[in-house]
Structure 1
Amino acid sequence: MYRVAITGVGIVSCLGNDRETVASALYEGRSGIVSDPERIELGFASSLTGAIDFSPKKYLTRKQRKTMPDFAVQAYAAVADALEHASLAPEELRNDMTGLVFGCDSSGLTAVEQVDLLRERGETCLIGSGHVFRAMTSTVTLNLNSILGTQGACWTISSACASGGNAVGQAADLIALGRQERVICGAAQELNWQSVCSFDGLGAFATNDDPTKASRPFDSQRNGLVPSGGAAAIVLERYDLAVERGAHILGEVCGYGFSSDGEALSVPSSTGLSRAMSMALRNADVQPSDIDYINAHATSTPLGDAAEGQNILRVFGDTTPPVASLKSMTGHELWMTGASQVVYSVLMAEREFLAPNINFGEPDDALKTLNVLQQTKETRVHNILCNSAGFGGTNASLVLRFS
């Protein structure tokens, strides 16, 4: 089994579109959540959302963008940043030992747009060819593959809000098993009202007069999640080959665990995520006491946060390492979240701090022993555990190691 090095990361999120801006937001505990008045006009119960200032025209030509929804262009921007961070030239990617694995579970807006065009124009031939590729769940990997020229693995992981975590984990496995020498991995999530309107109808979204205080993971007053999105990218390489080419090693993916609840469609179990965490710890050959920080999935929903807290306590006991859900700042980045956690963890480890779980006041009675980090902590980081979980009871956990 080969070691798996992290050599580059890139990010487009409501916290910023570059590593320095995002790292500063994490350190300062700065929220990227805003109120969108259009959502109220449309009949949403909640106007809250993450907000991204992003211009697709800055990154790709009009012809290239024709087959790409905005979130795929954001994925390209994150990948380009990660490749620059890894000091990799384009020609180093064009071989069958370099692959692409991304997490994505929908491309909703394009499906709406193509139906609207048909109704408006009256002929399918007037819809345009680009929508075929924009509407596919695999739109990120198929477009990036043609732009970058990679010739190895090229597929999309679709597992709800665990998609990003599973994409990074599977990419690491491909390298550890010697199937690939390098994998560009990550995840993306579209940020528009069309993709989340039915979610709002379930009453799942937070309501708060102050958008920056709406996402309250683990807090007893939490009342729902805040939808968000963007794209996160990570360059993984076989460790020995990365060292050989003189790459700067940012960290390692040393453990990956997964599980499914096998129970309810939308209510997480009290054991599923703990099995994924335990598998990741075994895979990394570390003990719970070796973990410095748990980058939690907690989305600020009453049932979800309680279940994750119970699962953490099941693995770590009443004395846990610092725990924080960065969704308190970013909102729930849905399919992207498992990958963005890896990027955020790398940024924290590079700069030697742990970001807080903002908007936390009082815990639930059942979670009082959970060590929720309420303020930024300056410290050297060695091992971080990242959790992600999704509808259908799908779970993913990653152990990241930093020297």
Structure 2
Amino acid sequence: MGIWSCIGTNKDKVTESLKAGRSGIGLDKDRLEYGYQSGLTGIVERPVLRGLLHRRLRQGLSEEAEYAYMASKEAFEQAGIDDAFLAKNEIGVIFGNDSSARPVIEAANIMAEKHDTQLLGSGFIFQSMNSTVNMNLSSIFHLKGVNFSVSSACASGSHSIGLAYLLIKQGLQDRVLCGGAQEVNYYCMATFDALNAFSKRMDEPQKASRPFDRDRDGLIPSGGAAALMLEDYESAVNRGATILAEVCGYGFSSNGGGISEPSDEGSVIAMTRALDDAGVTADEVDYISAHATSTVQGDMFEAMAIDRMFRGKHALVSSTKGMTGHECWMSGASEVVYSILMMQGGFIAPNINFENSDEYSEHLNLATHTVETEINTVLSNSFGFGGTNSALVIKKI
């Protein structure tokens, strides 16, 4: 696995933040000057790629593709996959990404001022496409297998893992690099801000993201990238790879309602399908990585769904978005990374900033503080605009 996020730029740093309940949220004054109602965002460090990548390869990288490169580099290193292995073996790539705003807007601004396409250069086209992440990763790492993007709103990263899992399960691929990536520049989230989706609790940025809390007032946008190297079990064993965990269930659904309306029924269907696919019952789940973004409606419907399936069960629930904010297109993948890091460390990260329950969250078995416990089975939820739902079951090896 590899991770580049507002709570750490590698797995060790992220593990420390998760265990400590450390927030990566801050205030970006440039957003307020640009016209946002809320300047809150995850503060994500931009990687320095000079010296790591040739200029020719850097030219086509969007911001989110830069994050994805760093996360993928870390994932390949942990997987024991080097250039020689990449040259001789087929590896696919499926990444979740549903926007690339900065290069589109910057190119449009140049055209509006200069009215000359010759001034755009060659980098904008590869930076501006939704497939910017997987096309760049495929080129940089010489990947020869399946190669496409998943654009499915905030479930994109989760669906990418699920699709990679299905391809491997069906024998169509032995290895697939998958994950999700999200840009963090102020261009990319203005339309969300227009929906009044963001918290305006700007006096206390690190307390603003409050999943399941009665007094939540909106999500905090964030980003970065997460990468996971999925591999057929026999292939991993034969080459002596260190196996971190097993993806053993994938469920999905669509709400079929309003374009921005969540649904407890759609969530239940996705979670049920994932558990059934994994051959796991609700009693066997130790931890539920909730999608809960800190919006009034979204958290309410997910709480209803989890309550329907897990009331009286031992599974603990938390949303890492209290610390990270909503990492959007990467969140389904990053939260699987976070869950596996917890699994390895024997703890459940806290649902920070939870002070008062509402009528929907009061029945949830929320981990409001770090809990030291063994985790063998995780259910990870991801839901997005358009009613897209994804759920994954991850097991300890």
C-alpha contact 2:282 2:313 (8 A) present in aligned 1: no
Q: Is 2:258 aligned against 1:249?
A: no
- Which amino acid counterpart does residue 46 of structure 1 have in structure 2? S
Q: Which residue of 1 aligns with 2:227?
A: 233
- Provide Cα deviations, 1:51-102, integer angstroms capped at 9, x if missing partner: 1122343432322111111210110110000000111122322457410000
Q: Which residue of 2 aligns with 1:72?
A: 65
- Which amino acid counterpart does residue 333 of structure 1 have in structure 2? E
C-alpha contact 2:97 2:330 (8 A) present in aligned 1: yes
Q: When the two structures are aligned, how many residues end up with a matched partner?
A: 395
Give unpaired runs (5+ residues) of structure 2: none
Q: Which residue of 1 aligns with 2:350?
A: 356
Q: Which residue of 2 aligns with 1:52?
A: 44
Q: Which residue of 1 aligns with 2:161?
A: 168
1:214-293 equivalences in 2 (<5 Å): 214-293=208-287
Q: Which residue of 2 aligns with 1:184?
A: 177
1:281: how far off?
0.2
- Provide Cα deviations, 1:228-278, integer angstroms capped at 9, x if missing partner: 000000001101111111111100000000100011110101200110000
% identical aligned pairs: 47
- Cα 1:267–1:95 shift into 2, 3 Å: farther
Match of 2:97 among 86, 100, 104: 104
Q: Which residue of 2 aligns with 1:28?
A: 20
Match of 1:393 among 384, 387, 393: 387
1:377: how far off?
1.0
Q: Which residue of 2 aligns with 1:41?
A: 33
Matched residues in 1 for 2:19 and 2:55: separation? 37
C-alpha contact 1:33 1:329 (8 A) present in aligned 2: yes
Q: Is 2:333 aligned against 1:339?
A: yes
The runs of at least 4 consecutive aligned structure 1 residues that moved more than 4 Å come to none
Deviates more, 1:283-292 or 1:313-322: 313-322
TM-score for both structures, normalised by structure 2? 0.97
Deviates more, 1:72-81 or 1:37-46: 37-46
- Provide Cα deviations, 1:342-366, integer angstroms capped at 9, x if missing partner: 1111111111111010000111113
Aligned-CA RMSD value: 1.2
C-alpha contact 2:346 2:374 (8 A) present in aligned 1: yes
- Which amino acid counterpart does residue 253 of structure 2 have in structure 1? S
Q: Which residue of 2 aligns with 1:90?
A: 83
Matched residues in 2 for 1:398 and 1:18: separation? 23
- Which amino acid counterpart does residue 327 of structure 1 have in structure 2? K
C-alpha contact 2:93 2:138 (8 A) present in aligned 1: yes
C-alpha contact 1:218 1:306 (8 A) present in aligned 2: yes
- Provide Cα deviations, 1:367-394, integer angstroms capped at 9, x if missing partner: 2111111111112210010000000100
C-alpha contact 1:296 1:325 (8 A) present in aligned 2: yes
Match of 2:127 among 113, 131, 134: 134
Matched residues in 2 for 1:270 and 1:54: separation? 37
Q: Which residue of 1 aligns with 2:192?
A: 199
C-alpha contact 1:96 1:152 (8 A) present in aligned 2: no
Matched residues in 2 for 1:153 and 1:121: separation? 39
Q: Which residue of 2 aligns with 1:6?
A: none
Matched residues in 1 for 2:169 and 2:289: separation? 23
Matched residues in 2 for 1:94 and 1:261: separation? 43
